[in-house]
Every structure is written in C-alpha cells, then in structure tokens.
Structure 1
Amino acid sequence: MKTKLLTALFLLIALSAVSQKLTVTSPNQKISANLYNDQQVNAGEWYLQVNYHKDSRVSEIIPRIELGLERDDQDFSKDLIFLKAGKPTLVREHYTVIHGKRSQCSNQANEVVVSFENPLKAKMNLIIRAYNDGVTFRYEFPEKEGTFVVKDEFTAYSVPDSTMRWLTKFNPANEGLYSTLKDGNEQKDWGYPALFNTPDKACWYLIHEADLNRTYCGTKLTNFGEKTKYKLTFPDKWNGREKGEVQPTITLPWKSPWRVIIVGTLADIVESTLVDDVSAPSTLAKTDWIQPGKASWNYWSDNHGTRSYKTVCAFADLAASMGWSYTLLDWEWDAMTDGGNLDDALKYIHSIGVKPLIWYNSGGEHTWVNATPKDRMLTHENRMEEFAKLKKMGIYGVKVDFFESEKQDMINYYLDILEDAAKFEIMVYFHGCLVPRGWARTYPHLMTYEGVRGAEWYNNGPELTTTAPEHNTILPFTRNVVGAMDYTPVTFTNSQHPHITSYGHELALSVLFESGMQHLADRPEGYYNLPDAAKNFLREVPNAWDDTKFVDGYPGKDVVIVRRKGDNWYVGGINSEIRRDKSKTLKFNFLPEGKKYQLTLIADGNYDTEFATRYLVVDKNSEIEVKMLRRGGFAASLKPIN
C-alpha cells in the first residue's frame, strides 16, 4: 500500500525536461501548484501558477506568482539554477486546539522541496505544499551559518482584471473597511487577508501569510508598480513612530513565513484552518489553565468606565448574571475612584465568582498613546514582575494595546509577551495589533486579536452606522477566516453613534464572529432588557467550537454559518440589504442522520428592535423559511432530543 501511494505521488509530481515545469497536486487532486521558468531552460527567473480542477475543467486562478529574495550580500531571484526536486512527501498531522472554529484539525498536504543555486553557488530552496483547501510555499536558506539583511522579497501575485476582489487598505492597526473592486485600478498598500473571485466565478481564493516568527517581519500587499500585480512589501519606515528596522535580519539556516493561498468554494474559504495548519505546534505542555469564555466590557458604553469602581462592579454583576466567565478592566484602572480602587474591585469581582481580565498599554516610543500603565510590558524584567503580581491578584488575562508596527522588532515584542505570560499561566489578548498569523496554534493562550474595524468604531465617528451591515457580512469571508477576531459584538443599545442593524442581526454576531475571548460590548441594561429567549441564548452560546460549517451567503450581501459545540448546534445569519427585507430557506442537512433536534429560532420581528421566536422540532431533512428585515438577521440553537 505504501509503495502504491508513493508511486501515485511521483506521477502527480513530475518534472518536464522540455518546459522545466513542476506540478504539485493536492491529495484530492483539485488544486495544483505549477513551477515555471521564464526562459524555458534550467536557469533564469521562476514563478508559480495555481490551478483549480473541477468537473474535468481546469481554472487558472493565479496565472503567475513571482518568486525570489534579495539579501544584502547577493540576489536570489534572477539566474537561479534548478538543481533538483526532492522526493515528494505526504504531510499528515492531526492536532487538537482549545479554541477556534474546529477542535480537531488536520494538516495534510503533498510537499516538494525544490533546490536552486544562484550564480555565486549560494543555495535557496522553495518548499511547496498543495492542500485540499489551498497552496502554501516558503523560502529556505539551508546553509548552516551567516547573518544577513533581507533587502526585499519579490513574491508577487498577478491578479487579472475582471477578478472580483475584497481588499482593505493597510494601516498598522488593521482596522479598515473592505472595498469591493473588479480591477486593479485602485493602487494602494493592502492588508491581509485579501479575497478574490476568479473571472469565470469558478473559484475563490484568499491570500495571507502564516507562521511568522522572530526571524522576519510582517508583510502587506502593494500594487503600486503594476496594478494587476500584488507584491509582498515590508513595513513602512513611519510605522511605530519610525522605531525599528524595516528590513529583517536573518541568521542561517532560515525559513520564511509560509505564503498562504486558501482555494476553493466559499465554504472551503470560511471553514479553512490552513493558516493554523502550517504554523508551528503548541509550545505548551500544560494547557488546562487556558479557558475560553465570554466577558463583559465597559469601554463601548462608557469610555471611562474602568475609572469608576461602581461601573466596574456593575459590569461584573452583568457577567455573573449572564453566566459569563470574565469581566475586563480596560484603561484607567490605575486611576479608579468612585467608591473603591483596583484592590477593592478585584475583591468584589472574585466574591461573585467572576474572573478579571486587565488592560495594558504596550508602551514605549513606538506608540504616541500615553494612557497608563505604559511601562509594564516593555522589558522582560517589567513583565516578569507584573505577571507575578497579576498571578497573585487572581487576574486571568491581559489585553495589550497599541503596537502600531509589524517590523521585526515588534514581532519579537509580541512573542516576548506571549512567552513570559505563559510562565505565569496568564492568557493574552492583543488589541491595536496585526491580524492573526497562526500564533494561536503555537501559543494557545493567545485568545484573540482585534485587528478589525469592530463595534468600538461606533465611538469614533458616524461612519460605521451606515457601513456596518455590509462590513459585517464581509468579515466571515475575510478577516475571521484566518483567526480569532474580537469585534466586541452584540450591542442592542447605542453608544456615541447609533447602529442601524436589527436586534436579530446583532444577536447573530455571537455565532458568526469567532473569538476565543468574546467581549460582549453592551451596557448591562442592553442585556437585562432582552426577552428571555435572546437572553438565554447569550447565556448559553459558546465561543470555542468543535466544528464550523458555511451554509449560504456572498461577501457584502448576506451570510449564514452554523457551529457545533458537543451535540448542540448554533446558527447565525445576517443580511446587509439596506432597502428590502429578505427571506432565507434554512436547511438542516448539516445535522446527523436519524436524530431530531429542538430548534429555538430567534429572528427579526416586525421592526428592528423586536424579536420573533419560534420553537420547532427538526431533523436533517427539514427546511424552514426565515425572514430577515433590511439590515436584519437571526440566531438559532439546536439541541438533540433524546
């Protein structure tokens, strides 16, 4: 059997003597990565092409991915001599995660290592993997010694005009809106992840990077040079107030982060764990202290809430009343008055069975924000002292804010915080930060990231009021695909600027948006005044999942996702339509055969602030019609009937 498997792999991965073409095909044979040489000889410039195979039809989804790097000592992009393609291997790994869209994950791909040398005889490898849901590749310098600066990376994705694309303009906090574009005429720095739909509509793909570590910087996509070519670009000098070097320094042997292209249907995109699959396994031997959960959060409704002991206690009471594990003490906790200080607040929070989380400024000259405490995360000595105090005070996690850069020094800083926090069994939440790069697999106590334009923006101006309905239907296909996303969702009252999404829409976000630490943002009365069905739903809905399935939708229009925890299923669906109501036929074919479930469906009522609740018995063959108001939505739970 083993011999047959290897023979089949060799047939799938063949080197043509004429065109110098190498093909690596996914285990299900639907996706292939093809290596070409511009000069059609054994040396020159090399590029990858990614194809999608469906119903005997081949779609060329990315016609050209340019390859190569330049170090300060020599170039690895031009005149590269092909030496050999290594023996093909089947990567097969199963792993378990504590929080995310799926508890049991599989890392399975066909891999080939291609060896090159440049005219100076220096070696570079290209490691290519084809997965059932995408293609990944990375560079490797296999030589055993030497320290160099990477001057540039030439990886560039050619995306033909008429390809639909959902792109977000890059900023260091990664809090932009996504634009829907049909060509490359808008030339900017673009953030990850970037979503594309091929001109023939046959295939979707999402471009990202993963397994970023201390040996490199974060990158972004730029199409300034050629509008249809999205090139990987290092951070700008101005990021982090010009602190840190733009170009990363590497020490051999060295491997780059994985360049990740998730490929397939919209279901393949939404359900993919590819970013985590290719990232380094967990560094932690003991993980029982890592506990996903929901948290009450006072900043959205009261920017200075943590400055007030009474407000802190009110939000702790909210968490206790709703059965949520945590409450977050956001900025200004070190200036708390109004009846008590931090010690008093912690004593009260613990007395009612709630677990406190606490905020910190990342500090340093890389951020202009002076909010205190600003200096307690900056150095190893600072952190060890502070984490020891937090452990003694019974604080379970830290929210660290305002990083403002993805240069190599800042990547080191992120990882320093994670590694020091783990020594004291402190969970971590990054805010004002990069988007996920697979770190939650390596450091499972990294519970969530902001890196999104979330509900906090209702405090920053009137824009999210009108853009949220569409924005919310794009995020499940883009930002939330690649890792936990703390949008701080589910608000029924208004903050400084109102929302026009319906109550049904807001309730659905508790299922649609995945976050290992889900901060529910409304004020206490926003939850206390809900009808019983909605209130009970928010008490029970999990935020760490055993499975996730995409049901229906299209970016910017609508989306329905179901998630499972144990034997129970939860459904969230939203609609961005501004003018008209919309109906969805909800099918339950994701349920197991032969089992009946009690369905509690909480949908839009007759107007935006009203719910309509139905109770039904359903099975795998059931279908029901669900009405969503304009900017509306629905949520549902399904519990097995024994």
Structure 2
Amino acid sequence: MKRQLVLVMLFSAISSIAFGQKAAFQSPNQKIVVELFNKQNNDIGEWYIKASYNNNGKITEAISGIDVGLSRSDQDFSKELKFLKAGKPVLINEEYTALHGKRAVCKNAANEVIFAFENPTKAKLNIIIRAYNDGIAFRYEFPDRQGSFVVKDELTAYSIPSQTTRWLEKWNPANEGLYTAMDTNKILSGEWGYPALFNTGNKDCWFLLHEADVDRNYCGTKLSNALDAGKYKLTFPDPKDGRGLGASTPAITLPWKSPWRVIIMGTLADIVASTLVNDVSAPSVIKNSSWIKPGIASWNYWSANHGTKDYKTVCDFADLAAQMNWPYTLLDWEWDAMGNGGKLEDAAKYIASKGIKPLIWYNSGGPHTYVSATPRDRMLTHENRVEEFTKLKKLGFAGVKVDFFESEKQDMIKYYLDILEDAAQFDMMVYFHGCIVPRGWERTYPNLMTHEAVRGAEWYNNTPDFTMPAPGHNATLPFTRNVVGPMDYTPVTFTNSQYPHVTSYGHELALSVLFESGIQHMADRPEGYYELPDAAKTFLKNVPNAWDDTRLLDGYPGKEVIMARRKGNDWYLGGINGEQREKTKTVKFDFLPDGVKYKLTLIADGKHDKAFATQYLVVDKSSALDVKLLRRGGFAASLMPI
C-alpha cells in the first residue's frame, strides 16, 4: 500500500508540472523512470512513452519518445486516443527456476500500471507498462470480448537521440549478420533485426531493444529507421519472406494482448546479466521436465560437411563425446543417406553403446523454403511429427534440430510453437536453426534448448569474409545476441574449417564460457580436442553449459569481454580480445564470497596464438591478477573452492 501511495503521489506531482505529461512511475529500485505524454498536451490525441535512467542520482533520458498505437483493419487506435484512466500500480514480484540459461533462479520485480484509452468510436485500448529493476516492458491489449480483425500496422517507434552510440544487425531472415557500430557521424538507415544495443551520449546508460512472449496471436517484428534515421519503428515481416507464403499482417481475435516490447536498461553489466526477456514470458507449460537435460554435443558438420553420410565419421564423433564427457552427439543433414558400414539404426546403437544420446537434424520442409535437403517434410504437420517422434524415441534420440524457417510471419510462429508442443509430448528437446532470435520461449517451453540465429563458426565453412571480422564479432555477441537467449554459435575450434580463423587458442577456449547455449555444439574435429594440452582438455571435459549465475567483469562491444559464470560453488571465467593489438587486463575477484579461498586454474594465451600458458594459483575476494591477451586472444579459468 505504501508503494502504491508513493506512485500515485508521483503521478499527481509530476503530471501537474510536466508539459503534456499524464503519468510517471518508477521501478521498485527507483532506477528506471517511465513517463506517459500526450503530443497535443491534451486528453485526446497521440501518445508516447519516455524512458529515463537514474544512475546514482544522475537522471539520463535514454529514449526521448516511444510512439504507441495500432492500426486495425476496422479502425485506428493511434491518432485520436482519449485517455480514460491509469489503474492502480501493482507490484510484480516473481521468482522462477530456469533449467538452462544464464541464471538458475530468476527474480524479477516491477511496478505495473494499466493505462486505459478509447478511440472516437469508444472502442477500448489498454497499454500495460511495467518498470522493472533492469528495464521496461509494455504491451497492448484490446479488452473487448469479441471480434476478429487484422492488425494493419503497429505504430510503436523508438526515438533515439543522435548522440547515442548503437550496435545493430541488418535484417535478414536467418538473423546471421554482423553487427554494425554507429555513432553520431555514422547513423545508417534501413531495416534492423533484434536485439539492438544503444549507449547514451553521456555514456551513463545502456539499453537493448527487443520483444518477448510472441505467441500464435501475432508475428515477429523488426526495427526500421528507413523513413527517419532517428526513429526505429516496429515493422511486420516482409511479404516476400518464406517464399512469399503466409500473411505478413497478423490476424487477431479479441480479447487480445500483443507481445511485450522490451527495453533492458542500466549499466552494461545489467544488460549482460538480465533475464528480462524470459521474465515477461509465459511460465512453463511442461509439468514434468526431468527429461530436459542441458549439455555439450559433438558435431561433425564444421569439419566434415557431409560427415553424417559416413557411418564411421558418426562413430568417431560419438567416441569424441564419450572421451570428453559430453552427453550428446548430433547427426546433421544427410543421415538418411548414411553408408560406409552402417545406417541410422546402426549409428543409434553405436552411440548408445558409448553412453551418449544422439540428436538429429531435419529440414523444416514446407513450401516456405527452397532448400531441398532431406529429410524434408517430417516436421511439417502434427501427424508427421507424431510419427517421426515415435520412431526417434524408440531409437533413443534425445532431441531434434529443425532448420530453414526463413520467415517470422504469424503462420511460422505457429509452426515453431507446434513443433515445441509436439516434441514435449515425446520428451524431445528442440534446437531451431536458420531461425528466429529467441523471444522468451525457453521459459514457456524449456525443451527449447537453443537457437542458431547468429553468424557463428559455421560461416568459416561458407565464406572467407568471416575470418577477419570474427574476433570483434565474438566480442560483440555477449552484449547483444546472447543477452536475449541461448545462442548456438558452434564454438571452440582449434583446427581450421574450409576457411581459416585468426582467433587464438585462448580465445577459442574462452568461448565455452562466454557463449551460452542449452546444448552447446562443440564444432572441431576429434583431433582438435585430443591434441590439446591436458589443462585445456580437462577444462572442456568439465565446463558446464547451464549456469546458476552470470556476471560481466569487464568489456566493451567489439573490443573485449570478460565474464564470470557460476555453477554450484564453482566459478568459470572467459575473456577475449576482439582487437588487433595485445593488451593486459586486470581481473578482479571481488565477485567471490567472503572468507572462501579458491584454486584458480588459468589457461591464457602463450607465446603465440596456438600456445597456452597455464597457471595454478590460490585467490580470494581481495585478489587481482593481470592477464596478457594476444591480439585476437583470450583466456579461460576455473575457480574451485578450497
């Protein structure tokens, strides 16, 4: 009651003095400030939200305006919206457990206010806004109880001051581009994918734009500043996506709520640690989740593009998983053409004999994709999936990788969720490839272990153009793509694929900690791991891939990143240099608990990029250590309590 009283008083005080302002409220920790304004300084007209950040008493206006509104097939809900009322603030205080991700126990706290509007026909629109401790989320609601319509356009648009630095990825259906860094002197226009990272001109506030809890009632969206370089408007999928199939505008039935529009906000460390995308998403629909087990998988595609056609290659990678204590191996495309000593059933038996679980690839297979690789259509319908999952379960398979979606239209969103629901009925984990960026589904369907949706190590197979940008790209992903959900980059390669990499061995080893994925596919060939020094090999045998806590220790997008992740009482560190110059970084261990000493195993760059330098030390909370990173270098470390 006291919190509600404070917020209501804040409404009254600020709205009486601010031009056009109708309401303002804060997050529970008072760091995030949300304000609602009318552009005409009236009760009727167009509306926008302003987002600010309080950094130790210094207020930074992060987003000067977020235009709100919708255009429906029957009428408009943007230009002449009449403000009816602001509901009483409600405290959201929630805790839930995640089976995989950056944190096992997730806590989120927010103040929620529902703002009620009506248009000239008295049709109702609610805007639900939450101020979280690490950001803002808002969504639209049509509360009327009946009616079916098409949403012609969503008017949500973020006005970003020109002095704001930004990192954005050009939109592409597979979400596999490189991030472009832009400042005041270089603001490009176009269509951009999620997530999008920004740093305010005074450097005091970082924020990341995304969306969450996209369900069958909507489509995925992207950002466009094509018409105004300073304003990023939400746009629906391009009609041509998915070979032109499916409607690009979503059909809805009332009552209806949109996905959440999410702004993660705070320090750069707050961005990296945030679970806000999952926090606002629907809770798990899977009651018994004991069969969902995160883990590391061996993967033959990177080193042997047609490897799954060869039974002996499949066996070699099963042996690799067994020797490295990894629970899974993935059979990628062409498994239906397997030869050279065995077929699929033989491979499944061999893999099981090693105490490993197999995973298996499928083409998503509809007319939405030109890709003809088989098996092509076995995930396409409910009947197909039930038949295939029944066979896979009998053969001992633990999960499926489904590829080539090529669209974020509403029909494709339904397809994703249908696969997840049917897979859960057969205790099947799922990995989406050539796909959408995470939208919080890992909370609702925890059998969704990972997404590709990243320019990862597979691109060493595709083009020479990835070799030189890769180090800076790797140092950008922990602040962008991997913030919003699991990312299967297929990391940790020491040998070369079709095209070489210039990252050091220390850099590659660090990716096992830096990059989070519910199933982490280690991409190198067996000898790439067998020939490692004992310390590095042992590290990869023991490194977890589902975490209890995540901390950013140091870093800046594209330049460097040092992260600490905890599993139980053990901590793991990964650090990489994204730049073309050597540097020395001081690692402070002040994140450790008081009064506990740890054995540190530090595996850093050696004299050259294919050498390691290993140290064994005892550290505690007061310790600090200088670590040398080669150009494009890195290090990994484990900390075990004594």
TM-score (norm 1): 0.99
Post-superposition Cα deviations, 1:314-373, rounded to whole Å, max 9, x if no partner, equal 000000000000000000000000111111111100011010000000001100100000
Structure 2 Cα separation of the partners of residues 526 and 197 of structure 1: 39
Structure 2 Cα separation of the partners of residues 261 and 528 of structure 1: 44
Structure 1 Cα separation of the partners of residues 387 and 108 of structure 2: 38
1:133 aligns to 2:134 (yes or no): yes
Deviation at 1:186, TM superposition (A): 1.3
Letter of the 2:43 counterpart: N
Structure 2 Cα separation of the partners of residues 162 and 8 of structure 1: 34
1:431 aligns to 2:433 (yes or no): yes
Structure 2 Cα separation of the partners of residues 111 and 76 of structure 1: 22
Deviation at 1:16, TM superposition (A): 2.3
Deviation at 1:503, TM superposition (A): 0.1
Deviation at 1:173, TM superposition (A): 0.2
Counterpart of 1:71 in structure 2 is: 72
Counterpart of 2:15 in structure 1 is: 16
Give the conservation status (yes or no) of the 8 Å contact 2:15–2:24: no
Give the conservation status (yes or no) of the 8 Å contact 1:454–1:487: yes
Match runs of 1:28-427 below 5 Å:
28-183=29-184, 185-427=187-429
Deviation at 1:13, TM superposition (A): 4.1
| Structure 1, gaps ≥5 residues long | none
Counterpart secondary structure, 2:136: strand
Letter of the 1:528 counterpart: Y
Counterpart secondary structure, 1:202: coil
Deviation at 1:463, TM superposition (A): 1.1
Give the conservation status (yes or no) of the 8 Å contact 2:11–2:22: no
Deviation at 1:10, TM superposition (A): 2.5
Give the conservation status (yes or no) of the 8 Å contact 1:447–1:516: yes
Counterpart secondary structure, 1:240: helix
Q: CA RMSD in A?
A: 0.9
Counterpart of 2:574 in structure 1 is: 572
Post-superposition Cα deviations, 1:550-590, rounded to whole Å, max 9, x if no partner, equal 00000010000000000000000000121x21101011001
Counterpart secondary structure, 1:21: strand
Give the conservation status (yes or no) of the 8 Å contact 1:20–1:42: no
Post-superposition Cα deviations, 1:279-337, rounded to whole Å, max 9, x if no partner, equal 00000110000000000000000100000000000000000000000000000000000
Counterpart secondary structure, 2:469: helix
Structure 1 Cα separation of the partners of residues 32 and 211 of structure 2: 18
Deviation at 1:56, TM superposition (A): 2.4
Deviation at 1:17, TM superposition (A): 5.2
Give the conservation status (yes or no) of the 8 Å contact 2:558–2:579: no
Counterpart of 2:459 in structure 1 is: 457
Letter of the 1:8 counterpart: V
Give the conservation status (yes or no) of the 8 Å contact 1:76–1:124: yes
Structure 2 Cα separation of the partners of residues 81 and 146 of structure 1: 21
Deviation at 1:200, TM superposition (A): 1.0
Residue from 480, 483, 486 that aligns with 2:485: 483
Counterpart secondary structure, 1:466: coil
Counterpart secondary structure, 1:108: strand
Counterpart secondary structure, 1:8: helix
Deviation at 1:57, TM superposition (A): 1.9
Letter of the 2:178 counterpart: L
Letter of the 1:584 counterpart: K
Structure 2 Cα separation of the partners of residues 88 and 61 of structure 1: 23
Deviation at 1:6, TM superposition (A): 2.9
Give the conservation status (yes or no) of the 8 Å contact 2:219–2:413: yes
Structure 2 Cα separation of the partners of residues 6 and 219 of structure 1: 34
Counterpart secondary structure, 2:491: coil
Post-superposition Cα deviations, 1:154-191, rounded to whole Å, max 9, x if no partner, equal 00001121210000001000000000001474111100
Counterpart secondary structure, 2:475: helix
Deviation at 1:55, TM superposition (A): 2.9
Letter of the 1:22 counterpart: A
The more displaced of 159-168 and 508-517 is 159-168
1:447 aligns to 2:449 (yes or no): yes
Give the conservation status (yes or no) of the 8 Å contact 1:24–1:111: no
Letter of the 1:505 counterpart: H
Structure 2 Cα separation of the partners of residues 414 and 172 of structure 1: 15
Give the conservation status (yes or no) of the 8 Å contact 1:489–1:506: yes
Match runs of 1:542-553 below 5 Å:
542-553=544-555
Structure 2 Cα separation of the partners of residues 4 and 51 of structure 1: 23
Counterpart secondary structure, 2:318: helix
Deviation at 1:441, TM superposition (A): 0.2
Aligned residues: 638
The more displaced of 584-593 and 20-29 is 20-29
Match runs of 1:504-543 below 5 Å:
504-543=506-545
Deviation at 1:534, TM superposition (A): 0.1
Deviation at 1:7, TM superposition (A): 2.0
Structure 2 Cα separation of the partners of residues 56 and 402 of structure 1: 48
Counterpart secondary structure, 1:115: strand
Give the conservation status (yes or no) of the 8 Å contact 1:581–1:628: yes
Structure 2 Cα separation of the partners of residues 371 and 11 of structure 1: 62
Give the conservation status (yes or no) of the 8 Å contact 2:196–2:480: yes
Give the conservation status (yes or no) of the 8 Å contact 1:102–1:545: yes
| Structure 2, gaps ≥5 residues long | none
Structure 2 Cα separation of the partners of residues 105 and 345 of structure 1: 39
Deviation at 1:20, TM superposition (A): 4.0
Counterpart of 1:584 in structure 2 is: 585
Give the conservation status (yes or no) of the 8 Å contact 2:362–2:402: yes
Deviation at 1:32, TM superposition (A): 0.8
Deviation at 1:241, TM superposition (A): 0.3
Following TM superposition, where does structure 1 have runs of at least 4 consecutive aligned residues deviating by more than 6 angstroms?
none
User: What is the identity percentage for the equivalent residue pairs of Structure 1 and Structure 2?
Assistant: 69
Structure 2 Cα separation of the partners of residues 92 and 591 of structure 1: 27
Counterpart secondary structure, 2:116: strand
Counterpart secondary structure, 2:342: coil
Post-superposition Cα deviations, 1:409-466, rounded to whole Å, max 9, x if no partner, equal 0000000000000000000000000100000000000000000000000011111110
Letter of the 2:413 counterpart: I
Structure 2 Cα separation of the partners of residues 10 and 617 of structure 1: 53
Post-superposition Cα deviations, 1:609-636, rounded to whole Å, max 9, x if no partner, equal 0000000000000011100100000000
Letter of the 1:24 counterpart: F
Structure 2 Cα separation of the partners of residues 192 and 143 of structure 1: 31
Letter of the 2:399 counterpart: G
The more displaced of 318-327 and 21-30 is 21-30
Letter of the 1:470 counterpart: G
Counterpart secondary structure, 1:262: strand
Counterpart secondary structure, 1:319: helix
1:558 aligns to 2:560 (yes or no): yes
Post-superposition Cα deviations, 1:56-85, rounded to whole Å, max 9, x if no partner, equal 221111001111000000000011000000
Counterpart secondary structure, 1:9: helix
Give the conservation status (yes or no) of the 8 Å contact 2:586–2:624: yes
Structure 2 Cα separation of the partners of residues 381 and 158 of structure 1: 46
Structure 2 Cα separation of the partners of residues 338 and 25 of structure 1: 65
Structure 2 Cα separation of the partners of residues 470 and 541 of structure 1: 24
Structure 2 Cα separation of the partners of residues 42 and 354 of structure 1: 64
Structure 2 Cα separation of the partners of residues 407 and 314 of structure 1: 40
Structure 1 Cα separation of the partners of residues 638 and 307 of structure 2: 33
TM-score (norm 2): 0.99
Give the conservation status (yes or no) of the 8 Å contact 1:66–1:156: yes
